[in-house]
Amino acid sequence: MNRRDFLEVSGTVAVTPLIGGWESARAVGMVETNEDTIGQIVNIAGLAPEELLIQYKRYLFDDFLPFMDKFIIDHQMGGFLCNADRSGKNLTLNKSAWFDGRGIWVYSFLYNRLKSDPSYLETAKKTVDFVLRIQPNRNEFWPGAYTREGIPLPDKGGDIYGNLFIAEGLAEFSRACGDAAYWDMAKGILLTCLRIYDREDYVYPVDYGPSPAFVHAPRVLGHWMVFLRTASSLLHHTTDPEIEKIARRSIDAVMNHHYNPEFALFNEALHHDLSRPEGPFSQFVYTGHAIETLWMIMDEALRTKDRKLFDLAGERLKRHVEVAWDDVYGGVFRSLDDVEENIWKLDKVL
């Protein structure tokens, strides 16, 4: 598929159904509702929307979830044993904050939105109990990786991502179990991560070039992404002025500072004051984070009924997908290490 054919219908109406926001957008009056407009969405990747729905239901309920239940979920201790091969063989029994947090969200979301299966809630609850048993002290991150029992592994330090994935999971779990205390925990984790991120001594290895480069007190597109997504998840459950402020701040940083009008793409890393760095980082665009962040901004725009933001994020999403599209094999590249020299990392991620 040629990148120019990826989204044949112009404007954000074409993008919306790809992110599951069509009904939400229509409900708040952000897309047209006449039959002519809806009729334009005929095929996505050669399949009608109804065919895609059948396909993804089969993938989820007949393939993925049974595989998870048999090989990945730690039914005894809680958490997820994600180091497995395609046959389900566990290569190690180690776990991580990233995947345990995401797993809490997945199984809570399944219970809340798709099927009220008690086994989903049980899986989420056992993982919540497990990660809370190994919760670090205040102003520290969960370990990046740990044994099946929860003992931190050496040289596997935690990060903002893992903590915020756990926070987002707790927010969704709060809704599933009906206990607001877990929402409060999620908010506390979010605020702790933001305090750490705002410190002048914050250091993070940015995935640039052949190996990660440590940047002093950076502002990172991928960080704003998870701050926004966690804030949005919390705000979908209840209003909170403090969290609303975090969501607005994240969007402003992304759309007004990380966006580089010179080449109409987002820089991944900026200085602490949001100024653009000189040298190699001025040319570094992590297209994977940009694409992720922009659909999250579109989703937040739906929540706040901000049509202008929705349209702008949609335009920039399409731009990044087109630039990152692999004309030879299909799919999108995740990282443009140098815009001027057109140097890409050629691996792709789901």
Q: What is the pLDDT of residue 211?
A: 56
pLDDT band at 278 (very low <50, low <70, confident <90, very high): confident
- Residue percentage of the chain with pLDDT more than 90: 76
Q: Where are the domains of the chain?
A: 49-197, 203-350
Burial call 89-110: b when 16+ CB within 10 Å, e when fewer: eeeeebbbbbbbbbbbbbbbbb
Q: What is the pLDDT of residue 18?
A: 41
User: By mean pLDDT, which of 1-10, 33-42, 182-191 is the weakest?
Assistant: 1-10
Summarize the confidence of residues 265-284 as an average pLDDT. Answer: 90
Residues 209-218 pLDDT 10s = 655 565 677 8
Q: Report the alpha-carbon distance of residue 160 to residue 227 in Å, rounded.
A: 9
Average pLDDT, the chain: 88
Topology (CATH) of 203-350: Glycosyltransferase (1.50.10)
Q: What is the pLDDT of residue 4?
A: 38
Residues 304-337 pLDDT 10s = 999 999 999 999 999 999 999 999 999 999 999 9
Residues 51-80 pLDDT 10s = 999 999 999 999 999 999 999 999 999 999
Indicate if the pLDDT at residue 6 is higher than 60. no
The CATH architecture to which 49-197 belongs is Alpha/alpha barrel (1.50)
Amino acid at 157: G
pLDDT band at 5 (very low <50, low <70, confident <90, very high): very low
User: By mean pLDDT, which of 124-128, 204-208, 273-277 is the weakest?
Assistant: 204-208
User: By mean pLDDT, which of 3-12, 27-36, 228-237 is the weakest?
Assistant: 3-12
* Helix axes of 180-197 and 241-253: crossing angle, nearest 10 degrees: 40
Summarize the confidence of residues 8-32 as an average pLDDT. Answer: 43
Summarize the confidence of residues 195-212 as an average pLDDT. Answer: 80
Indicate if 203-350 has the same CATH topology as 49-197.
Answer: yes
